[in-house]
Structure formats: C-alpha cells, structure tokens
C-alpha cells in the first residue's frame, strides 16, 4: 500500500523550538497551492499499488484557506483513486477548530486530526510561542468530537523548562480525560538557530536535566499504560487497534510520495527523492514543469540500517531473519561487541531484536552501537 504526504509550509507564527521548513509569510499560499496541485498531477503514475493513507503535515496545514485546501483535494481526486484510502490526516492547531472549519474538513473527506496541543499550561504555550491559548487547548478536542471526528490524536511535549513534574502529570491526565484514542509525546529538543536555543545560551532558560526528562518519560509511560494505551513506538501511544496507519507504514518501510517543498519520497525499495526546501524556488520550478529534485540510490547496507533505526523504535522491534547472511553476521558481530551494560538493554529472540519500553530512552545509544559501518 502507498501513502501520500503533503507538506504545507506555512505557520501563523514561529514556535520557539521549531526548525522544520516553514514560513510565516502567507502571501505565497495561493501560488504554492497551485504548485502543489501541479506536482500531484505530475506524479499520478508513481503509485504501483493502492493508495492507503494521505497525511497533511507542516507547518500548519490547518491554516490553509478553504479554497486552497479544496483545490488540493480536487487535484488528488483527479490524479489518484481515493476509494481505498483508509486514513486522511490533517495536522491542526487548537485555535483553528471553529465549528465551521471542522465541518468543512470533514466534508472534504478528512477523517483524522493530529492536534498540536503541546501543553495545557498558559506559561508553557507562551514560552514555546504557540498561537493557541490554554483554554483553546482544552476545548479543541471537544469541538472536534462534536463535529463528528472519531480519529483524533493529540501531541504533547515534555522536557519543557520551568515545568514541574506535577504540572507534567496534570498535562498527561488532562490528555487522558479528553478520551482520545491516540497520544503522541515528544521530548523538547533544543535545535541550533532556534529562539529556544538562543534563550538557553543567554541563560534566560535552563535546559532540563537528563534525570528530569527520564522521570517525565517514565511517568508518561506509567499513566498511559494505566489508561489502556499501547506504547507501540517510542513517542506514540494508542488504544488497541488505533495506531496511526500512515506513520506505521513509514516505520515498516512502505512506499510513499512526498508532495511540496522539502517533502521526501521513497519507492519502497531503494530510491529516495526530495524536493527543494525553498517555497519560492519550489513554486517556480513546478510552474515551469521543471521540478527541483534530488535523489539517492540506497545500498543494501543503507536500507538495512534504516530498517534497524526505525524498527528498534517500535514495540515489535527489528526482525533480521530475512536479511542476507552477510548482514546478519555483521549485525551479530556488533551485538557481540556491545558492552555488558548495553547488552542488558536489548532482548534478542529468533533473530528479532527489541528494546523493552523501560529502556527506550537508550535507543539512540543502542542504534549507534549496532548500525553497520
């Protein structure tokens, strides 16, 4: 099955921690939408199997005008068979959840919202320069359910400076009380050249310690498990049978088409391609029917390493029994050379490696030790 990812590179304002490709200048929205539609039409022959999922990411896709979002759906329906699509996700901000807007999204066929709440505390939202308020964070899920959305996931962030463990617990409990079937929780990462990084370098904020972050993560796991959530990937928790289809396909190595500036594509075998990360250049290139694209052919070892990296982040782990004998031997050599402490962090049975949930904070370290050079 195939997926389509559509990158919408616009935001109302810049979150202090974000280093994704986006712009707060909305003047290009109409021209870029036209370019997105042109790319959709130009790539309609790439799908070799049924289209299963569509994901609108960004940026903030929920700030697209109704006209522009309608144009994108018209292009999708004109270029692809959507009859077997099971999941169409729109990343949305709480401040965009008006009743009229929610009804419009549903009318287009969007059946899942990924809502960037991040925190229910006003101080945190101000620190991160989020566009919504704490009140909107609390109301947005209720409004979405009232509009008929049954598939909802909310994003939370832990490791926020000045937030206490008790406040983090309250955030988790608020999320649970909203009764959604999926929660994604990410550790706040201090990326270079962001406003947050500048504040920390100046000493205006103090980055959380590893010990504090570990305590918040373990509390998250404990409370969500007690609430009936399955921790199926490091950052993702779902009620039984409610895992995200689109992201799960990424992790399993399925093929997908990436539309929009900076969007990546993968053919499911060994070819990756990506669009230029510049809105004006992307728009001009698509209007001139001359896509600004780079690509690479992955070696057998590079694909092996990608599978290792993504699947070790999941509950099911990485089964390497179908890999070539050469790669199996190389991986087992690296496993044998792990330190005693690192070896104790993993479980291997019938050529399936997985990292127990209690050890997931050490996943990056384990991957670095196991990856094939």
pLDDT at 14 over 80: no
pLDDT of 328 > 80? The answer is yes
Residue 64's domain spans which residues? 2-250
Q: What is the pLDDT of residues 281-314, one digit of tens each?
A: 999 999 999 999 999 999 999 999 999 999 999 9
Per-residue pLDDT at 198 exceeds 90: no
- Residue 292 within a domain: no
Residues 238 and 306 in one domain: no
Please state the pTM of the whole predicted model: 0.94
Same structural domain for residues 244 and 306? no
The answer on 90 and 30 residing in a single domain is yes
In a domain, 172, yes or no: yes
Q: Are strands 2-8 and 256-259 parallel, antiparallel or unpaired?
A: parallel
- Helices 99-108 and 66-79 meet at what angle, rounded to 10? 10
pLDDT the model gives residue 195:
79
Domain tally, the chain:
2
The answer on pLDDT for 194 being more than 90 is no
Angle 67-55-80 from CA coordinates, rounded to 5°: 75
The pLDDT of residue 25 is above 90: no
Q: CA-CA distance, 188 to 158, in Å (whole number)? A: 6
Mean pLDDT of the chain: 94
Asked which of 215, 232, 250 is the last residue of a domain, the reply is 250
Same domain? 135 vs 245: yes
What is the DSSP-derived secondary structure letter of residue 10? B
Give the pLDDT score at 192: 78
7 and 103 within one domain: yes
Q: Which tens digit of pLDDT belongs to each residue from 42-77? A: 999 998 889 999 999 988 999 999 999 999 999 999
Residue 239's domain is classified under what CATH number? 3.20.20.70
Inside any domain, residue 268: no
Is 260 a member of any domain? no
Q: Is residue 223 part of a domain?
A: yes
pLDDT confidence of residue 13: 80
Strands 230-233 and 236-238: antiparallel
Residue 24, pLDDT score: 78
């Amino acid at each position: 099955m195939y997926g389509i990812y559509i990158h919408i590179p616009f935001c109302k304002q810049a979150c202090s921690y974000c280093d994704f490709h986006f712009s707060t200048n909305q003047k290009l929205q109409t021209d870029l939408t036209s370019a997105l539609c042109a790319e959709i039409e130009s790539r309609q022959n790439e799908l070799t199997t049924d289209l299963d999922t569509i994901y609108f990411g960004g940026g903030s896709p929920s700030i697209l005008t109704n006209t522009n979002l309608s144009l994108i759906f018209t292009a999708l329906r004109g270029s692809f068979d959507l009859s077997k699509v099971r999941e169409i996700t729109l990343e949305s901000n709480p401040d965009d959840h008006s009743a009229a807007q929610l009804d419009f999204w549903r009318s287009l066929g969007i059946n899942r919202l990924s809502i960037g709440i991040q925190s229910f505390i006003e101080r945190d939202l101000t620190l991160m320069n989020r566009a919504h308020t704490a009140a909107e964070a609390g109301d947005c899920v209720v409004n979405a359910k009232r509009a008929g959305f049954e598939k909802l996931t909310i994003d939370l962030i832990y490791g926020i400076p000045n937030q206490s463990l008790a406040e983090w617990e309250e955030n988790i409990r608020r999320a649970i009380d909203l009764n959604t079937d999926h929660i994604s929780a990410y550790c706040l990462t201090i990326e270079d050249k962001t406003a947050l990084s500048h504040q920390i370098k100046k000493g205006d904020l103090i980055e959380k310690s590893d010990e504090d972050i570990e305590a918040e993560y373990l509390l998250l796991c404990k409370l969500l498990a007690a609430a009936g959530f399955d921790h199926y990937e490091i950052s993702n928790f779902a009620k039984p049978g409610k895992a995200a289809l689109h992201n799960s396909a990424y992790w399993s190595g399925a093929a997908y088409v990436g539309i929009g500036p900076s969007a990546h594509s993968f053919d499911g075998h060994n070819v990756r391609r990506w669009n230029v990360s510049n809105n004006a250049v992307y728009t001009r290139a698509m209007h001139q029917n001359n896509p600004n694209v780079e690509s690479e052919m992955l070696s057998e070892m590079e694909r092996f390493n990608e599978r290792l990296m993504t699947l070790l982040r999941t509950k099911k782990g990485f089964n390497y029994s179908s890999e070539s004998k050469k790669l199996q031997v190389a991986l087992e050599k690296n496993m044998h050379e792990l330190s005693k402490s690192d070896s104790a962090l993993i479980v291997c049975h019938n050529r399936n490696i997985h990292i127990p949930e209690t050890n997931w904070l050490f996943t990056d370290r384990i991957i670095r030790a196991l990856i094939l050079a």
